[in-house]
Amino acid sequence: MTSLSQKLNPTRFTAMSGVMAAMVGYLLGETFTAPAIAAIVVTTDRFILASHEGDIGYDNFIGSEANLRRNWENLIEAAGLTDEERSEATSLYNLRVCA
What pLDDT score does 44 carry?
Answer: 95
pTM check: above 0.85: yes
Residue whose C-alpha is closest to residue 49's, from 62, 65, 35, 30: 62
What pLDDT score does 46 carry?
Answer: 96
Burial class of residue 15 in the structure, from the number of CB atoms within 10 Å of its CB (0-12 exposed, 13-18 middle, 19+ buried): exposed
What pLDDT score does 73 carry?
Answer: 96
> Domain count of the chain?
1
The strand pair at 37-42 and 60-64 is best described as unpaired
Segments forming the whole domain that contains residue 40: 3-98
pLDDT above 80 for 4: yes
Per-residue pLDDT reduced to its tens digit, 5-39:
999 999 999 999 999 999 999 999 999 999 999 99
Per-residue pLDDT reduced to its tens digit, 60-86:
999 999 999 999 999 999 999 999 999
